[in-house]
Amino acid sequence: MLLSLSGAVAQGILWGVMVLGVFITFRMLDIADLTVDGSFALGGCVAAVASVNMGLDPVVAILLGTLAGAVAGAVTGLLHTLFDIPAILAGILTQISLWSINLRVMGKSNTPLLGVDTVFSRVASALGVSNNVATLIIGITVAALCVVLLYWFFGTEIGSAMRATGQNEDMCRALGIDVRVTKLIALSLSNALVGLSGALVCQSQKYADINMGTGAIVIGLAAIVIGEVLGRLTPGKLQAFGSRLTSAVVGSVIYFIIRAIVLQMGMDANDMKLFSAVIVALALVIPVIVERSQARRAFKRGADR
């Protein structure tokens, strides 16, 4: 059980990098970018091919996976900003096309990394630790670095413009901000993080598969919602932007811990997508029900007076 939970924590941190990408589009631009399912697998497929077929350094392979994710996000951004295709439809179009592209990249449905050097095996050998510990070390380092860089970036002029675009797009236009550029950058940055996560997960699990990103957007939304619930339970402590980024990663870890516990209790692994969808639905529906109930009670108290 402890081994299973430690593995869940390690995987949760790696997937937490993907959740940061989903956070950028979903919470900052109010876009549920479905490109994520395809760009996550694209990052893993590119990293696998770069390591196995091209013999590149594992770090270079991860960087190429990150770049591939950014390109996928840019395609969605161009479809949305240049051709006025609704963001959700642009994401669906890119996601569908990426399934075939990923298959073309690998030339087959999956690519094993058996006998291939990875960043995890290097750290494990250098420090004399297990793969789980190496995954934790790398995951925490990468996630922390991403949080710090994102916190810095969104404090810059262009980063602030991106945040403002999600808050009030019309006002940004009135102030002379080109919202098409900010959306394009946000979608590219988001999917770069998703591609980075896919490449890390690929090297961690020692294989890439064209279906490895299926349901990634649901996992990302579930992790964000769990992190926000955690923030509501500690009012005033997790409201700052940096803390919101951190809570997204923490939400990913909690999600994978919950999933590991549920699987240990005997739940069919095929039901996990349904389980994730139910978590997201409940977390989104319950606050609305509570808010409406409070409004009705307030209206009733006012009417009684």
Q: What is the pTM of this model?
A: 0.92
Question: Judging by DSSP bridges, how do beta strands 207-209 and 110-112 pair with one another?
Answer: antiparallel
Q: What is the pLDDT along the chain (305 residues), one digit of tens a residue?
A: 555 688 889 999 999 999 999 999 998 988 889 999 999 999 999 999 999 999 999 999 999 999 999 999 999 999 999 999 999 999 999 999 999 999 999 999 999 998 899 999 999 999 999 888 999 999 999 999 999 999 999 999 999 999 999 888 888 988 888 999 999 999 999 999 999 999 999 999 999 999 999 889 988 988 998 888 777 666 554 457 888 899 999 999 998 998 888 888 877 877 877 877 787 787 778 777 877 888 888 888 776 66
Which strand (E) or helix (H) includes residue 111? strand 110-112
Give start and end residues of each alpha helix (H) in 82-178.
87-106, 119-127, 131-153, 157-167, 169-174
> 56 near 74, Cβ under 8 Å?
no
Cβ count near 236 (within 10 Å)? 7
Domains and CATH numbers, the chain: 2-304 (1.10.3470)
d(CA 118, CA 150): 26
Which amino acid is residue 206, in one-letter code? K
**Phi, psi dihedrals of residue 57, rounded to the nearest 5°:** -60, 140
Cβ count near 32 (within 10 Å)? 15
Q: CA 291 from chain center: how many Å?
A: 28
d(CA 153, CA 282): 33
Which amino acid is residue 232, in one-letter code? R
